[in-house]
Chain A
């Protein structure tokens, strides 16, 4: 039996089988498809008790909004979360992968995960692929050494900052942070500032939109406020809705039952002893 005949699940990592064929198609004039991107505004800031992360919820495919309410704040560890911008598949895959690696690491060491561990794993993976894995991340969490906030760029460089923004709406959000951030913010002030920065991205950047998601991480506790604010409700809902009086014309119908219909016979013969 040749190796090609067995299509068993591979041991992991990327497979480059179709690259030659895809190159041939490109040379014959066909264009590559566009991937789902998260245009995005993602932010993080450090307040007096920990870290607050924020993100918008729009996913785009070219100029079209593919998902109006996607989740961009990904779980890495019980005390560490990561916001992702760039190609959606890359941010999801990379954060899931590092999250599994950290779970195994926690079992191995018996200790709570540290933010710098996640940072090192993420940056080395992204550097290995020289920026082709297009994920720009804002990583934040609280561990034994205190609260930490980092940004990670697709090529693998990182920054450690008290407040950070990434994505196409980062300039709009950074404008808010630069004018209003100060050290030692309380929880309410921090959440309000993050929400304001994300809103500025939502309303001023075309690649970001819909709702505001917030995650507050403090020592020993995290609060994931999904859809903390929904400043873009659908206001044009028609009361009547659509109703189709004329039936759609059919060519054929086939019905397959999924459950056996049981027929109950009243007053049947009693079973013999």
Chain B
């Protein structure tokens, strides 16, 4: 079994018109046994920047704590929040530092940059950035997610429609993956507000 399949996860982020959505599943498992159904995978770095961490849960939590530390230092020095592009470079550098003994973690970063332009990106375990203009996926359900997003995504969707699309893509993909599921957690961010919704999914 691969190290990434130890805990199981599914993460997806999509870009809409002046907004973005990021969604994850809620299962935490130890190989085939489920031990939590309300596990938080998406963290808030600052009101307009979210990071989702898939892969080994302990590395995800450690990496998150290091990133929050670095962002707090940045805020103290620069007296402003980090731009999503800068944050992505920071995560990439922290991961590449561990090139020969990596964190087993694939982050998905989503944020609103200057002029509230949505930014999403994902990385592999050693920090190779993959910027996309439409959607990014990570986790054990990533192959299904690639297919579902490729079919369901349309450019320039408004927040309501974006939420429906990302939820349907997530739920249909995790239904085909034993290691992720047990509902969904979706954040839709527009320049005006952040909407956090918990989805009802199959509990198997």
Give the residues in chain A near B151, CB-CB below 8 Å: 242
B1 at the interface (CB under 8 A from A): yes
A271 at the interface (CB under 8 A from B): no
Contact B127 A93 (CB under 8 A): yes
Give the residues in chain B near A22, CB-CB below 8 Å: 101-102
Tell me which of B130, B132, B165, B191 contacts A244 (CB under 8 A). B165
Give the residues in chain A near B199, CB-CB below 8 Å: 248-251
Give the residues in chain B near A255, CB-CB below 8 Å: 193-196
B39 at the interface (CB under 8 A from A): no
B167 at the interface (CB under 8 A from A): yes
- Looking at chain B's contact residues, the main secondary structure is mixed
A145 at the interface (CB under 8 A from B): no
Beyond A242-B152, A258-B47, A259-B192, is A89–B69 a contact (Cβ under 8 Å)? no
B189 to chain A, nearest CB (A): 8
CA of A7 to CA of B69, assembled, Å: 9
Closest Cβ neighbor of B142 among chain A residues: A64
Closest Cβ neighbor of B99 among chain A residues: A14
A196 at the interface (CB under 8 A from B): no
Give the residues in chain B near A256, CB-CB below 8 Å: 47, 193-196
Give the residues in chain A near B101, CB-CB below 8 Å: 15-22
* Partner-binding segment picked from A32-40, A44-52, A168-176, A197-205: A32-40
CA of A87 to CA of B200, assembled, Å: 39
A144 to chain B, nearest CB (A): 33
B78 to chain A, nearest CB (A): 15
Give the residues in chain A near B102, CB-CB below 8 Å: 18, 22, 33
Give the residues in chain A near B92, CB-CB below 8 Å: 89
Tell me which of B2, B125, B196, B197 contacts A31 (CB under 8 A). B2
Q: Mark B1-15, 1 if CB is under 8 A from A, else 0.
A: 111101000000000
CA of A258 to CA of B194, assembled, Å: 7
Give the residues in chain B near A29, CB-CB below 8 Å: 1
Contact B6 A30 (CB under 8 A): yes
Contact A64 B124 (CB under 8 A): no
Contact A89 B128 (CB under 8 A): yes
B118 to chain A, nearest CB (A): 14
B41 at the interface (CB under 8 A from A): no
Within 8 A of B (CB), among A76-93: 87-90, 92-93
Contact A250 B200 (CB under 8 A): yes
Interface centre among B70, B104, B142, B171 (most CB of A within 10 A): B104
B interface vs A, CB < 8 Å? 1-4, 6, 47-48, 55, 66, 69-70, 92, 95-104, 124-130, 132, 142-143, 146, 151-152, 154, 163-165, 167-168, 171, 183, 189, 191-200
What are the 6 closest A-B residue pairs judged by CB atoms, nearest first? A19-B101, A88-B128, A89-B128, A18-B101, A36-B124, A249-B200
Offer 6 A-B interface pairs, CB within 8 angstroms, sorted by A: A13-B97, A35-B128, A87-B128, A248-B171, A255-B195, A258-B193
A interface vs B, CB < 8 Å? 7, 9-10, 13-22, 25, 29-33, 35-36, 59, 61, 64, 66-67, 70, 87-90, 92-93, 132-133, 241-242, 244, 247-259
